[in-house]
């Protein structure tokens, strides 16, 4: 519910009330006054409902794929996928949030779940990008990766033991984001390689 919603609702009801008042005399004026009060009541009810929804599910999600970039020690460009976690609450900072993989439809090798991807904080009404998938493209005579890496920061692949690989032809992941307090939200995403590019679709 945006900050401009209440003024807009009030203006609409005020115009209606003015029209009724202009044509209906005293009774119309009374109805016009009632519409003003009704506008505030309706806005309050909608605001309470919206606030309750945000508290139950404080995060919204989207995904971005970073363009390949090379560092001084890399030979081949790598794509990475970031889950963008947006805090929808203006007055609440979340610390100790965690992203886990709960289930994978097509995993390479053996894997145990849940698997921690990363721990992070999200400031009030802010966004946090959490990298969770990687894929590398190679020029001939070398081959592209035939699988997609699922892990947190690069060190996680070696030290935290949370690295796994899924089929590049396509795999569905069930993810869970914990807010660090008492609530969690789950979402699905489909990861694959399309036309030599890493592709991720939420709710896949």
Q: DSSP readout, 75-105?
A: SS-EEEEEEEEEE--TT--EEEEEEEEEEES
More confident residue, 36 or 127: 127
* pTM (whole model) above 0.85: no
Percentage of the chain with pLDDT > 90?
47
Q: Which two tokens stand for residue 148?
A: 């997609």
Q: Which two tokens stand for residue 9?
A: 């609702």
Q: Which secondary-structure segment (H or E) carries 51?
A: helix 5-56
* 154 three-state secondary structure: helix
Position 67 scores a pLDDT of: 76
Residues, the chain, total?
204
Q: Rounded to an integer, what distance in angstroms lies between the CA atom of residue 83 and that of residue 45? A: 33
Find, among 143, 65, 148, 69, the residue nearest to 104 by Cα.
Answer: 148
Domain ranges of the chain: 1-56, 59-202
pLDDT confidence bin for 200, thresholds 50/70/90:
very high
Residues 99, 132 contacting (CB under 8 angstroms): yes
pLDDT confidence bin for 28, thresholds 50/70/90:
low
pLDDT digits (tens, 9 = 90+) for 90-124: 999 999 999 999 999 877 666 778 888 999 999 99
More confident residue, 149 or 26: 149
Q: Which CATH superfamily is domain 59-202 in?
A: Immunoglobulins (2.60.40.10)
Least confident of 16-30, 83-97, 130-144, 185-199: 16-30
């Amino acid at each position: 519910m945006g900050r401009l919603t209440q003024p807009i609702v009030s203006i609409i009801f005020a115009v209606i009330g003015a029209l009724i008042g202009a044509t209906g005399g005293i009774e119309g004026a009374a109805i016009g006054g009632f519409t003003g009060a009704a506008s505030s009541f309706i806005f309050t009810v909608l605001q309470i409902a919206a606030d309750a929804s945000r508290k139950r599910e404080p995060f919204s999600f989207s995904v971005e794929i970073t363009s390949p970039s090379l560092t001084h020690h890399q030979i081949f460009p790598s794509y990475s996928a970031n889950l963008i976690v947006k805090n929808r609450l203006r007055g609440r900072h979340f610390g100790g949030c965690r992203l886990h993989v709960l289930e994978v439809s097509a995993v390479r090798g053996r894997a145990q779940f849940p698997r921690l991807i990363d721990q992070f904080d999200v400031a009030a009404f802010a966004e946090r990008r959490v990298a969770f998938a990687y894929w590398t493209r190679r020029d001939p005579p070398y081959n592209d990766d035939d699988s997609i890496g699922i892990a947190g920061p690069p060190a996680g692949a070696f030290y935290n033991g949370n690295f796994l690989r899924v089929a590049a032809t396509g795999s569905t992941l069930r993810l869970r984001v914990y807010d660090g307090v008492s609530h969690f939200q789950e979402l699905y995403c489909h990861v694959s390689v399309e036309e030599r590019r890493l592709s991720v679709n939420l709710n896949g």
